[in-house]
A and B are shown apart, each in its own frame.
Chain A
Amino acid sequence: MLRQIHSLPGLIAALLVVMLSVTGAVLSLDPILERAGATLPKAGQISVAALAEAVAAKHGGVDRIVKRASGSVIVYYFDGDRAGVDLVEPVTGLTIGAYEPSSFVQFVTNLHRSFLMGDAGRAAAGIGALVMVVLAITGATILATRLGGWTAILRPIRGTASQRLHAELGRFAVLGLVLSALTGCYLSLATFGLVPDGTIARISVPSAVNGGPRAPVGRLAVLKAVDLTDLRELTFPNAGDLTDVYVLTTARGVGHVDAATGEMLAYQPHSLSRRVYETIYMLHTGQGLWPLGLILGLAALSVPLLSAFGALIWWNRRSALPRIQKNVGAQSADTIILVGSEGNSTWDFAVTLHDALTKAGHRVYTAPMNRVASAYARAARILILTATYGDGAAPASANQFFSRLDAVQKPLPVAVLGFGDRSFPRFCRFADDVAGALRAKGWPVLLELEHIDRQSAQDFVRWGKNLGGAIGVELTLTHIATRPKTVALQLIERVDYGAEVQAPTAVLRFAAPNADHRAGVWRRLRTPRLPGFEAGDLVGILSPGSDLPRYYSLASASSDGVLEICVRKQPGGLCSSFLHELEPGSRIEAFIRKNPVFRPTRGKAPLILIGTGTGIGPLAGFIRHNAGRRRVYLYWGGRDPASDFLYESEMAKYLADQRLTALNTAFSRVPGGGYVQDRIVSDAIELRCLIQRGAQVLVCGGRDMARDVARALDTIIRPMGIDIQVLKSGGRYIEDVY
């Protein structure tokens, strides 16, 4: 719901908001430019009377002296019939030059507050400010929910590049944008008179004007008592009308000063609403507060980018929306599939399940969990597939599920399948809650609750077999997450390891077909290119005759010009055997699956990389791309340094050029050898030190190794008063296990 509130007005009002923010950013430079040109007198240095006298001595008819928020002093005058406006030196009253407000600034100001369309444009600008408030607040709330609460708002953000940039920019700018937008709303309301701005339209006309000959302005007592720093504006009396008075506006109020006696005839202090208005005006424009102006301008500059990335995210999500074929009516279906999904990836699994059940002769109805009906006329079972949002909350399409569940009249046999990511602390928490609630209500269990870790197609196949067994059909769930178009890749190089220790492993490097990766830029641009990916992403490879892709972690980024993977030949493994038989020149069909979770955080904090066997692949990729030379510690385990020391020569090179700080290896099949967790235990003190300094831990390899490593590291950091869960929830301990 929050997301709809965020994205709908965002899309509709994007142009409006971008226009407001770009013009606002331009205007934010005005206060500092103006301030740079002004000299400020110290308090007590010169009185209004002294300045007025100096100015009056130079011009025949001074009309008005204005001190702007920046501190510049401007004099409006008539010399005979010639009207003039001068910028003057505040202390001496000497003319600096003619005052010419920039017509560009005026133009941008009008664009900013009315789009050059009068009152209709002013109303639009006000609505734009309101939209901005809604966007900033909903955006921040969504981010906080996703990261696990307001206290976690500064945690590293995960997601695709556009999601990350959108969230990071938003987090950077949100306070500035809220301030600009709220004050903008207020100014808009004040413009339309809907809130008072406290303008003193008329001060009561003085009754007892002396009317005698005018005293020199420099001798007027009231003006002598007012310091220039307090002045806003001094209006001189009409030369031809002896009953006219000086009108003095200061920071505190407006007064009429008798031109003959110099006495204050009438005075009206600024009302509270005036002071509120002036403060808000200053906060919005930065006039008189230029550093704030610059900050707000910088925040405003993020809005065009936020809009662009936001639109991209929206478009990606929309184009990923499932298209369900043969979705029968809710009341005629025998099987109901309910989906709880935030991003849409769970929908893909639901569609696969829907198709397979339909093929098996069932009448299937698939809907979001929020649309659970109070009764299904013919249904024999309900299958619930749900993800978890943030720290255990319901995903978007399931956030009203519990309140609707109470209305369901007849319990049906139900199977719950949770989707999640084991590296999050509350893995599949919402699925657990749903299963628990249904059990408490006495719903029969069709299949025990199960979890799918990181969209594992293999886990899903296994669950499908169990489901098929439970309802008496053969069910093959060949799930490919919205199977992307595959691209052809050509093997250009392979390096083999480990045959002697019964762990045949190959580092395979692929390139786009026929692309000579040593060719010049121009030829490379014209030949087919690799899809975009980074080290740590996954490549899905379809071996000939198989529809079920196998995923391998990428050891290179597309900027390296090659796609590199590290593959161990599994006994009986279809895909790994296929890959191990490839010769340079052979081709494969592959697609990229982004894995933005498994990636080093940006910054200078040290990295601790831990892996065994082929798990070194993505870790080697991270090291290769350590251009900033942050400190990187690699712990890696193999069998025998003489046979399966993967990337041995590369690691030597990385150590030499300091992309790698320290390499700790453990080999299990040599005398005195051991396992990688042994190296971790023996380096306990140094590791503790690194974690103290904010190090991030990335683990890649088999599930058993990951468990042992986590246990070892947990023991090491316990004395620091933290555990692995704390690191995990802070995004500082990330596993990629298989």
Chain B
Amino acid sequence: MRKMKRLAVSLGLAAVIAVPAIAETKTVTLSTTLKSYDGNGAYLAIYLTDAQGKFHSTLRVLGRKAKYHSHLRDWSRGNAFEKRKIDGITGASVGSGQSLKVSVDVADALIDAGYQIRIDSSVENGRDNPADVVVPLTSANASKPTSGKGYVKSFTFDM
């Protein structure tokens, strides 16, 4: 209970969705396509931040070995308080040129409310790309492909 309280305080606005029973959610489909590069599968973190880039919550993590998660830098820094909360939303790393489509539930309150979807990416012996993709979570941006500056070739969210 104490933990819960601390979480709510530190996340501020997140308190709104801390009680999911009342919150209305929308299913958002995230489609990510990677560029072709030399190297092993890329680790990705797809997460939400506020307009200032302050971490809000994790949508999906790709790449299972936790010791490499520190290379997903911005996410890892923001995510520091919610250790081990990513168990159910972690998948395998994504290979060069591959596409990935996942569906997540996002609280209605976060849409068109100044929040951003961000992706951090990292490849072994390659580079770490904090904020590879930054796209505001607005109805207007839905279904519009955004290109990344790192390993992400294009990212689209549909809702």
Cβ–Cβ contact A238 & B53, under 8 A? yes
Interface membership of B150, Cβ < 8 A = yes
Given contacts A101-B38, A103-B38, A106-B125, contact A238 B130 (CB under 8 A): yes
In-complex Cβ contact of B149 among A64, A82, A200, A201 (8 A): A82
**Within 8 Å of chain A (Cβ to Cβ): is B114?**
no
Is B38 in contact with A202, judged by CB distance below 8 angstroms?
no
- In the complex, per-residue mask of A384-424: 1 if CB is within 8 Å of any chain B CB, else 0: 00000000000000000000000000000000000000000
Identify which of A83, A103, A202 gathers the most chain B CB atoms within 10 Å of its CB.
A83
Closest to A247 in B: B73
Chain B contact residues, majority secondary structure: mixed
Instruction: Quote the shortest CB–CB distance from B151 to chain A (angstroms).
Output: 8
Q: Does B141 contact A (CB under 8 A)?
A: no
- Which residues of A lie under 8 Å from residue B53 when comparing CB positions? 238, 240-241
Bound: A202/B81 CA distance, A: 11
Q: Which bucket holds chain B's interface residue count?
A: 20 to 34
Which residues of A have CB within 8 Å of B125?
A: 101, 106
Asked if B128 and A201 sit within 8 Å, CB to CB, the answer is no
* A199 CB contact (under 8 Å) in B52, B67, B131: B67
Total contacting residues, chain A, CB less than 8 A: 24
Determine which of B38, B52, B83, B149 lies in contact with A78 in the assembled complex, contact meaning CB atoms within 8 Å. B149
A85 contacts B by Cβ under 8 Å: yes
* Assembled-state Cα–Cα distance A202/B72 (Å): 12
Q: Is the CB of A238 within 8 A of B74?
A: yes
**Docked complex Cα distance between A100 and B128 (Å):** 15
| B-contacting residues, A76-111, CB 8 Å | 76, 78, 81-83, 85, 100-101, 103, 106, 110
Residues of B within 8 A of A202 (CB): 70, 76, 80, 83
Query: Does B33 interact with chain A (Cβ within 8 Å)?
Result: no
Does B39 touch A at the CB level, under 8 Å?
yes
Partner of A85, one of B67, B74, B83, B127: B127
From B40, B69, B80, B128, contact of A63 by CB (8 A): B128
What are the residues of chain B within 8 A of A76 when measuring CB–CB? 127-128
Known A64-B128, A202-B76, A205-B77; contact A83-B38, beta-carbon cutoff 8 A: no
CB proximity to A under 8 Å, residues B103-134: 125-131
Which residues from B are CB-within-8-Å of A106? Answer: 38-40, 125
Residue A197 is within 8 A (CB to CB) of chain B in the complex = yes
The reply to whether B127 and A64 contact each other, CB–CB distance below 8 Å, is: yes
**Is A235 an interface position by the 8 A CB rule?**
yes
Is B140 interfacial (CB 8 A cutoff)? Answer: no
Neighbouring B residues of A63 by C-beta, 8 Å: 127-130
A residues 55-73 touching B (CB-CB < 8 Å): 63-64
**18 additional contacts, CB 8 Å, given A78-B149, A83-B149, A103-B39?**
A63-B129, A83-B129, A83-B150, A85-B127, A101-B38, A101-B126, A106-B38, A106-B39, A106-B40, A106-B125, A110-B40, A197-B67, A201-B69, A205-B77, A235-B128, A238-B130, A241-B53, A244-B77
Residues of A within 8 A of B (CB): 63-64, 76, 78, 81-83, 85, 100-101, 103, 106, 110, 197, 199-202, 205, 235, 238, 240-241, 244
Give 24 pairs: A residue, B residue, CB < 8 Å, sorted on A: A63-B127, A63-B130, A64-B127, A76-B127, A76-B128, A78-B149, A83-B129, A83-B150, A85-B126, A85-B127, A101-B38, A101-B126, A103-B38, A103-B39, A106-B38, A197-B67, A202-B70, A202-B83, A205-B80, A235-B73, A238-B53, A238-B74, A241-B52, A244-B77
